[in-house]
């Protein structure tokens, strides 16, 4: 069994895989990571290997503590990967994006795949049918856009995410909802269309925290999955374990 540790800026996703199947998943605060790993270890005594993907901060002592329990892989630009990385600056490629690309390679081998991760930022990552990662794009996510409208203006309020009834806002709040939500939806649809015009038989994956909200509104044919990044991390661990 494998333990997957995905560390964000403040929250940590922990998942236990038996082969390719998720047996357990939870989200915890960063300062509780070692406590919860101890609990998970007691629940699943056959866990032997673990992988850490961290875009947030994890101390050396925490890493040493985790490594004392498991054979540990720390995902970085030097990790052996199951695709050819043609990114011009591979050392700056986020570990979350690496994991998503690996998931696409496993689930859709030798396909043209566009992975859209709708979280704090919206990232677009493209892998061609030769399993070559070409790059993609990064833009502000839904919450970042709402916060920017509030933080960078004098009078606009901070709103919760809400699907507008019409593209024509008839008040300040409905205009903001229209601008943010329809702006993101039209951006995603436009990006998908551009890729479809350049690459045949395109598979589109939508994942991330806002994927469920957005997928219901998108007209494009997409696959929405919430565990795609975790599956990618598990595949990287398997790939580096020669399993």
pLDDT at 56: 65
The total number of structural domains that make up the chain: 2
For the cut 90, the answer to whether the pLDDT of residue 10 exceeds it is: no
pLDDT at 221: 74
Known binding residues for ATP are 6-13, 120
Beta bridge partners of 73: 51
Distance CA 84, CA 107 (A): 16
pLDDT at 57: 75
What is the domain range of residue 20?
A: 2-74
For the cut 60, the answer to whether the pLDDT of residue 25 exceeds it is: yes
pLDDT tens for each residue of 76-94: 989 999 999 999 999 999 9
Domain final residue pick, 74, 109, 134: 74
Beta strands in the chain (DSSP E): 2-7, 11-18, 21-29, 49-54, 71-74, 84-85, 112-118, 121-127, 132-140, 202-207, 223-224
In this structure, the answer to whether residues 207 and 101 fall within a common structural domain is yes
Which residue in the list 62, 96, 125, 210 is annotated as catalytic? 96
241 within some domain: no
pLDDT tens for each residue of 33-60: 999 999 999 999 999 999 999 876 788 8
181 within some domain: yes
Known binding residues are 6-13, 87, 94-97, 117, 120, 172
pTM: 0.91
Domain final residue pick, 74, 101, 125: 74
In this structure, the answer to whether residues 118 and 215 fall within a common structural domain is yes
CB neighbour burial string for 52-82, b if at least 16 within 10 angstroms, e if fewer: bbbeeebeeebeeebeebbebbbbeeebebb
238 within some domain: no
In this structure, the answer to whether residues 39 and 92 fall within a common structural domain is no
pLDDT at 200: 82
In this structure, the answer to whether residues 90 and 115 fall within a common structural domain is yes
Known binding residues for substrate are 87, 94-97, 172
Q: Catalytic annotation on 62?
A: no
């Amino acid at each position: 069994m494998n333990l997957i540790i995905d560390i964000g800026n403040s929250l940590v996703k922990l998942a236990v895989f038996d082969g390719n199947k998720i047996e357990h998943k939870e989200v915890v605060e960063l300062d509780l990571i070692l406590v919860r790993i101890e609990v998970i270890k007691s629940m699943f005594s056959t866990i032997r290997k673990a992988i850490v993907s961290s875009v947030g901060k994890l101390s050396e002592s925490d890493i040493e503590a985790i490594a004392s329990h498991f054979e540990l892989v720390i995902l970085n630009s030097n990790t052996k990967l199951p695709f050819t990385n043609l990114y011009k600056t591979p050392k700056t490629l986020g570990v979350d994006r690496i994991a998503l690309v690996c998931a696409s390679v496993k689930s859709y081998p030798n396909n043209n795949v566009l992975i859209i991760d709708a979280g704090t930022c919206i990232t677009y990552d493209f892998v061609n049918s030769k399993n070559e990662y070409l790059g993609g794009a990064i833009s502000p996510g839904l919450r970042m856009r709402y916060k920017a409208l509030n933080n960078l203006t004098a009078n606009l309020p901070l709103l919760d995410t809400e699907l507008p009834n019409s593209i024509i806002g008839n008040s300040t709040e409905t205009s903001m909802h229209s601008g943010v939500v329809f702006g993101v939806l039209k951006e995603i649809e436009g990006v998908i269309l551009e890729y479809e015009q350049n690459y045949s038989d395109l598979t589109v994956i939508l994942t991330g925290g806002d994927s469920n909200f957005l997928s219901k509104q998108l007209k494009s044919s997409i696959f929405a999955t919430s565990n795609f990044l975790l599956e990618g991390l598990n595949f990287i661990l398997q790939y580096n374990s020669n399993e």
